[in-house]
Structure 1
Amino acid sequence: MPAQRCGRATTSVSSMRGAGACGPGNARRGGVRASSHTLPYLVAVSAPQRARPYHARELYQRPILRPWAANISRWMNPSTAGACLAAGLALYGNVKTETISGYAEFRRGDTVIVEGQRVLATSTTKVKGAKRIADIPLGYEVKASGQRNASGVLIAQQIEAKANSTGGTEQQVIAASNEAEQTWVKEGMMFEPADSGKITKIGDLLESGPYVTRARRIMDRLRPSYLPASALRVRVVKTDQWNASAMANGAIWVFSGLMDAMDDDELAIVLGHELTHFTHEHVRRQMSKGTVAQILGTGASIATSQIKNSTAQQVAAFGGQLGLSALMTGYSREYEDQADRVGLRYVYEAGFDPTKGPGLWEKFKQKYGETDKITNFFTGDHSRPTERIHNLQRQIQLNYTTPAPPPPKRE
């Protein structure tokens, strides 16, 4: 490996283990006091060729290296510090700026959790919509861009925050979802329109019992603190199928067959995924105003003659079409992948084990195979199971290497 230049000394990787200019063996002789905070950025990389050494001041302009620049500058002059930390610039020189968009949902120390990711502001971060990142209320929409540090934290360069607002389209979607839910509850079963013009029964609704108690207990732990308990309703459908879905009105549906095959951690991962579809308003975001208007305007064409009550027939006509066709056929890959990421955060903050995520999707893969669109929890434009497993593993490495915190206390 090429030698590295630190100040006036030239070192190699091997010499850095001993008396190299940036190594611990030269802590006093070269004015460098290396530590575990700096060594990862000083070994195994080559500093970029420059006409002059890096100055420590320049490194402060790179948020990802700022903490180490501050640390190493305590033990050497600025020019030498900049030269030694140039290795860090080489290591992270190709790191792209990431942009995440979601809601401020939790706080962890100095970080705020957005889209399941830890976001940290520095003195140079531009914050719009609040004076400081600590002033952003939980539940606000947040967009942040920056670079990740070695611990997976996004060091933000820019943060935009604004209150979440509701519009006409959202109100229409919620109204149609309410009608679909009320119809299913009244009939005591979940069903969907069939090609024959009648309905296909999916399963009876369970109003009480161990399935309902278990599902609601887990969901209550998953719920972020800014979201009132009254905003969610967990309903269990008696069927051997593996499926779960979320409506825009906060109704979360889970099938008993899925619950039978999952332990609490795995069920929490499924419910966390569905909860994200609700909290991040995926139904509204995916549907255009024209789509909603078309659904509401063409409901009379659906025949639901198997439902005895005529009012229920009319309600099911458009509410049922919206509820199943738009909700249970899935979301775009962007929203499905976001639900995986944010759902893992809900699982972690609730005290469940997010590391079971990859194993859960292995179960789905074994049951349904490597396919994009099948009638189960994979319905929609999901990433393929293998890719999904890989994405979850990356999230675990970035965010969940420490044990989950204790479950939240609910009043």
Structure 2
Amino acid sequence: MKKTIFSLVLLGTIGFMNAQLNLGNITKAAGKGVSALTFTNADAVKLSKESVDWMDKNNPVAGPKDPYTVRLNKLFAKHKSQDGLNLNYKVYKVKDINAFACADGSVRVFSSLMDIMTNDELLAVIGHEIGHVKNEDTKDAIKSAYLKAAALDAASASSKTVATLNDSQLGQMANAIMDASHSKKQESEADTYSYDFMKANGYNVVGAYTAFKKLALLSEGSQQSGFQKMFNSHPDSAKRAEAIKKRAEKDGLWKDPGTVTLPTAKLTK
């Protein structure tokens, strides 16, 4: 499987994927294409929901009483309706360290990310993902992926209707979602959204700083045991952390967290 960016997907996705997450076999899209001008928000929501439904069926999802689900619900139960968005959250119990969000409001957090992030850091990561949805970056990403797949069948690329995808094509779209990347501007805007989300809700904005510091540590070769490099196509995590620190200092919200290190045991709260 190819490495991907979520954005978190956060950080639309923030990191990378490895072979454990089941995205199916990548096959040539046989469905009809759709022009960029006719791709609507409804199209993005439709394709996103179908792809996420496929991923939910093909990956281990934490049950309602699972400690990971309980923890996530405690953090985000009140944010299912956030900034005009209807969001739904689930945990994938996989070794990958990632999170992602889609145009339909689906937010998926991976258990291995939760293992290394404090609650404040998770709030920052998922706030970033929500930012990508609110800013319609996820729409742009799935549109691009869909058009690229459709271009493989040039003869059918003139259709103005989004095709109904079969199971194999849904697997391809799922991979495309995870393989999508955002521009530096989009990442910066999602960082800003995350900070504002934290500040507006009275959360500790320093969590955004320490989250990026941990991602920077993960990107260092000496720190990768058990992890793959995160944010491999993202702006430098250390620089993003410093940008958050400067804003927190300006807002009078900075509290020195001390030296940031990767935990040696799973974080459960």
TM-score norm. by structure 2 comes to: 0.64
2:84 corresponds to: 227
* Cα-to-partner distance string for 1:132-158 (whole Å, 9 max, x where unaligned): xxxxxxxxxxxxxxxxxxxxxxxxxxx
1:378 aligned partner, one-letter code: F
Residues in 2 aligned to 1:349 and 1:366: alpha-carbon distance in whole angstroms: 28
2:91 corresponds to: 236
Give yes or no for contact 1:222–1:272 (8 Å, CA) kept in 2. Answer: no
Q: For residue 206 of structure 1, give the secondary structure of its aligned residue in structure 2.
A: coil
Instruction: Looking at secondary structure, tell me which structure has more helix per residue.
Output: 2
Residues in 1 aligned to 2:230 and 2:42: alpha-carbon distance in whole angstroms: 26
1:350/1:328 CA distance change after superposition, 3 Å: farther
The Cα of 1:258 is off from its aligned counterpart by 0.8
1:100 corresponds to: none
Q: For residue 254 of structure 1, give the secondary structure of its aligned residue in structure 2.
A: strand
The Cα of 1:225 is off from its aligned counterpart by 5.1
The Cα of 1:221 is off from its aligned counterpart by 4.0
Alignment of 1:49-198 (within 5 A): 168-187=39-58, 189=59
Instruction: Looking at secondary structure, tell me which structure has more strand per residue.
Output: 1
1:225/1:368 CA distance change after superposition, 3 Å: closer
Q: Of 123, 129, 135, which aligns to 1:280?
A: 135
Higher normalized contact order (CA 8 Å, seq sep 6+, divided by chain length): 2
Q: For residue 276 of structure 1, give the secondary structure of its aligned residue in structure 2.
A: helix
The Cα of 1:184 is off from its aligned counterpart by 2.0
1:206 aligned partner, one-letter code: A
Residues in 2 aligned to 1:385 and 1:324: alpha-carbon distance in whole angstroms: 24
Q: Of 239, 242, 263, which aligns to 1:390?
A: 242
Q: Of 138, 142, 146, which aligns to 1:292?
A: 146
1:320/1:247 CA distance change after superposition, 3 Å: farther
* Cα-to-partner distance string for 1:360-379 (whole Å, 9 max, x where unaligned): 22211112229xxx966525
Rg: which structure is higher?
Answer: 1
Which structure 1 segments of 5+ residues have no match? 1-166, 190-203, 300-312, 404-411
2:68 corresponds to: 211
Moved segments of 4+, more than 6 Å: none
1:390/1:350 CA distance change after superposition, 3 Å: same
* Cα-to-partner distance string for 1:233-262 (whole Å, 9 max, x where unaligned): 111111232111111111111110110111
Alignment of 1:297-376 (within 5 A): 314-317=166-169, 319-369=170-220
C-alpha RMSD of matched pairs (Å):
3.1
1:181 aligned partner, one-letter code: V
1:366 aligned partner, one-letter code: L
1:243/1:220 CA distance change after superposition, 3 Å: same
Identity %: 21
Q: For residue 252 of structure 1, give the secondary structure of its aligned residue in structure 2.
A: strand
The Cα of 1:172 is off from its aligned counterpart by 1.8
Give yes or no for contact 2:99–2:109 (8 Å, CA) kept in 1. Answer: yes
1:271 aligned partner, one-letter code: I
1:386/1:185 CA distance change after superposition, 3 Å: closer
1:252 corresponds to: 107
2:231 aligned partner, one-letter code: F
The Cα of 1:286 is off from its aligned counterpart by 4.9
Q: In the alignment, does 2:234 pair up with 1:378?
A: no
1:394 aligned partner, one-letter code: K
